[in-house]
Each structure stands twice: as C-alpha cells, then as structure tokens.
Structure 1
Amino acid sequence: MKYKTVCRIATVALIAAGCLGQAQADQLADIKTRGTLVCGVLSTLDPFGYLDPNSRELVGYDVDFCKGVAKQLGVKPELRQLSLDARIPELSQGRVDILAAVLGYTPARAGQIDFSDTYFLSSQKLAVQQDSGYTVPADLDGKRISSIKGSSTQAFVKSTIPGAKIVSYDDAPSAFMALTQRKVEGFGLTEAMLRRFIVKLGPSSTIKVLETPLGQEPWGLGLKKGEPQLVAAVNTALASMETSGEAQAIFDKWLGKDSDYHMQRTFKVEPIKP
C-alpha cells in the first residue's frame, strides 16, 4: 500500500473517530463541563417563580427545585426568565437546559419534550365571585372563564366544561383581574395560585375557590428530547431530594401550614403515569 494511501486512510479514520465522539457527546456532559445548569423559570407566578420585591431576585418553589437539582449535579444554577408561551421553544432550541416553570404533563407536550419525575401535583380549580351562586364547575357551562394563554388549565376547562367560553390572558394577574372586575364569570388556575391571589385581596375579598377540581395535573421538569443521560441524572437528583427531606422542606416553605396557603403535601417524587 502506498504511503499516500495509508495517510489518506488514517486521516479518514481520525475524522470518523472525531465525528463518533461528537455523536456520543451528551448534554449532561456539556452541563458538567460548563459548570452551570441553565434553568428556564417564570417570574410572574408567585409562589412558584417570581421577583422578590425587596431583593429583586427570582425566588419560588420552582426556583428552589432548580437550585436543588443543580446542587445534586455538582454545578451552579443559572436562572433565565421565560414566558409561558416561550418555555418549550426555548428548551427545544437549546437556550435553556431544563424547565422549572409550572410545566404540567400532557400527552401533547410529552411528544415535544421529555419530563422528569413528578415534583409537584397540581389541583386545577376555578375561582368565582362569592355571590355568583356557582358551586361546581358544571355551573359555568356557557359562561366566560379567564385563563393564561398557553396554560394546561385551558385543556382542563375544555374537557370538563365543553360549553365554556375561554378568554385568554398573557399572565395570571390580568386573568384574575378580569374576574374581580366581573368581565368573566370564572378564572381557572392551579389551586395554590388561586388562593394566593385571594390572600392578596385581604379580608374584603369577594372571590372563592370551588372545591370540586377540574382535574389533577402532575408537574415535571422539562428536558430536551434525546438526552437520556440528563433525564436519568435529574430523576436521581429529585429522588435524593425526596429522601433527604429537601423536597418536603421546599413544599413547606412555599405552600405548607406556615405559609399563606396552609396546604398539605399529599404526593411524593415519583414517575409520571401517562
């Protein structure tokens, strides 16, 4: 075999090896090499992700889970504010590594991204005026119900109250304001956030939450498709947070008996059942 031919074969082999190495590279390795986990979070949904009025820092239930997972991975968290509509596009385009952004599991979303195990179980409910006479969701059939544009609550409303007229708003405060101003007859959202809005109105609040839920929705951390190593590492991190009590402590801090919500944690970190 001529020398030039040998060199050419060797060069091709090296290039192929390099390409194979790139193909086998994974996002988890990139994150650890970089030393940061870029988390997409919300900044307008207290108590899950919002700007603290005093420190102007992003805080909340989701933010603490992002920080907890980053710690378990041995890297620093880097928080990036996203809108509800931008969550999945930003993840799919690689601008964030993970979503900790009130991301409820749906089959449609599972076709676009991967989900971690459950880190929160949300009861989707409706808020109405106390003098409305409404006692169950079905009472709002044919009525106007406000919700956040792109939220999973809209799917719950459509399936539970097919005749309802959904009015979309860009954020939760605007959707809630529509109810207080009687522009709509109901407002759909996760129970925790509904109760937070009512607490902020104070004793003079004329809003109540209907006890019958629209449904329950497991929340998972969102991850880009095709990254099994990262999914496994995140699930291991969540399991460690559950075992150590950190997951419970985060719940107690933001939603527990000593918070404004007085809620009990009735779930554990576990795989989402489609």
Structure 2
Amino acid sequence: MKIVTFGRVAAFALLASTFSAAVHADQLADIKTRGTLVCGVLSTLDPFGSIDPKTREVVGYDVDFCKGVAKQLGVKAELRQLSLDARIPELNQGRVDILAAVLGYTPARATQIAFSDSYFLSLQKLAVQQDSGLDSLADLNDKRISSIKGSSTQNFVRATIPGAKIVSYDDAPSAFMALTQRKVDGFGLTEAMLRRFIVKLGTEATLKVIDAPLGQEQWGLGLKKDEPQLLAAVNKALNEMESTGEAQTIFDKWLGKDSVYHMDRTFKVEPIKL
C-alpha cells in the first residue's frame, strides 16, 4: 500500500511540475495579451542607445531593433532604460521582457540568459594618445586601460593584454575622458562607439585607434531562459527584418556610409557561433 501511495504522489508531482513549466514558458502569450514588449535599453551609448536632445526620447540602433521585433510580434515597444550592470538582473527578475542593450555573447552570460540570433558584429578596439608611442596591443601590456564597468571589453583586455591594469568607470563618457586627461594610457570599447567619441569631441588630432582588434563579439537580444516560444518568435522576427531589408536600413541609418562612422555592414542576422 505504501508503494502504491508513493507512486501516486510521485505521478501527481510530475504532472504538477509539467503543468507549471508549461505555464511558465508562455511568456510570448503574456506579451501579446498585454500588447507591449518591454525592452531593456541603454541611454548612454550613442549610436546604440542615447537620449535625443530634441525629443528627450531614447533612440539608436538597438532601440530600432527592439521596435522592429515588437512590430513583427504585433505589439508596441515599451522602452526601459537600464545600466550595463543591471541588464541581466532586470531581465531575470521579470522587469523587462527582452534586452536590446549592446549585449555581447559570452559563455558565462549564456549560463544566465538565452540569446537570440546575432544582429550585430562588434569589433573591440583601443584608443590611445597620438603622441604616446603606443602602436600595438603589446605596447599596452603594462599600461592602464579604462573601460566601462561590467562590459565585455574588460574580458577582451584581460585575455589579450593580461599585464594591463583595467580601470573601471560607470559609463563610457567618463572612461573616455580619463584617456583625454591622460589618467589612463588607453580606452577600450566597440570600434563604432570609439570613433563616435573621437569625432564628436573633435579629438581626431590627438587620439588614434589601434588597428588590431582586441577581439570581436556577436550581439544578441537577451531573453529569459526556458522561454522557447518567445525565443523562436524573436528569431523569426529578426530574420524577417533581414529578408525585408529593414536590418540593413537600421545599420545604414546609424552606422552606414552617410553617418559619422562610414562603416560597411559585413554581417547578417544569423545564429550565434558558439
């Protein structure tokens, strides 16, 4: 009798667990019922996410991808500004549905969240003073390098220039100013944003970008783990944006030849290479 009773209890527990998992995995249905996709974005990293001085709204490459995905899902995008450090905690605590926030794929992050297909390929580089005599990554092996606290750039610096001392700042402008004021010897960031700072602040004559990259990373949209329906829908949306040319249009608008970056799009939406 005890064996039969235990078996019934175990079966009931399994059924309850299966039902709970099914309910939990229906975030996509919740989003469609609500009619909004809550996107965690940054507002301090132009051109990916920044405040438009005229409208006071958050705009940028990442913001447009968030809006594009929301449109494909048939809902409106609701933007929520986050800091770099808060991105993953805010997602996992359910305060946002998705992250469109310069989120580079790393194996460590992949243990915490799920990644969509890649929608941007980022080259990480270093800027230095023109008169520093620093021309290669090896030249910075014992130097001070500023970067944003919690950014993937710090991981690239540790791997590529193990002897360098990383100096962390809360935001990109502060880390950049540390270089211009010669408090550090180099500043690491994605190439697009590095060049933006140099052009925007008129420091082309005093700063340069070292040609060799620290590394490259694929950026994906971040989602909670164990949400297969939402992940599939987001990937479908991204690939639709690629096939219709919307992804190219967003790139051209923010990073293309007519922008201050004059960059070519050498990538397409594709699954992240593990």
Check the 8 A contact 2:116/2:231 in 1, yes or no.
Answer: yes
Mapped partners of 1:44, 1:203: distance in 2: 19
Residues 219-267 of structure 1 show CA distances to partners (whole Å, capped at 9, x for unaligned) of 0000001101111000000000000000000000000000000000000
Check the 8 A contact 1:115/1:221 in 2, yes or no.
Answer: yes
Mapped partners of 1:124, 1:257: distance in 2: 20
Alignment of 1:166-245 (within 5 A): 166-202=166-202, 205-245=205-245
SS in 1 for 2:168: strand
Q: Which residue of 2 aligns with 1:7?
A: none
Mapped partners of 2:114, 2:210: distance in 1: 32
Check the 8 A contact 1:28/1:229 in 2, yes or no.
Answer: yes
Mapped partners of 2:107, 2:17: distance in 1: 34
1:134, distance to aligned residue in structure 2 (A): 1.1
Alignment of 1:1-274 (within 5 A): 23-25=21-23, 26-202=26-202, 205-274=205-274
Check the 8 A contact 1:126/1:186 in 2, yes or no.
Answer: yes
Mapped partners of 1:24, 1:55: distance in 2: 42
- What is the identity percentage for the equivalent residue pairs of Structure 1 and Structure 2? 81
Residues 54-84 of structure 1 show CA distances to partners (whole Å, capped at 9, x for unaligned) of 1101000000000000000000000000000
CA RMSD after TM alignment = 1.6
Which amino acid in the other structure matches residue 208 of structure 1? Answer: K
Check the 8 A contact 2:198/2:204 in 1, yes or no.
Answer: no
Which amino acid in the other structure matches residue 122 of structure 1? Answer: S
Mapped partners of 2:146, 2:126: distance in 1: 10
SS in 2 for 1:90: helix
Which amino acid in the other structure matches residue 24 of structure 1? Answer: A
Structure 1 gaps of 5+ residues are 1-12
TM-score by length of 1: 0.92
Structure 2 gaps of 5+ residues are 1-11
TM-score by length of 2: 0.92
SS in 2 for 1:139: helix
SS in 1 for 2:217: strand
1:137, distance to aligned residue in structure 2 (A): 1.0
Query: How many residue pairs end up in the alignment?
Result: 260
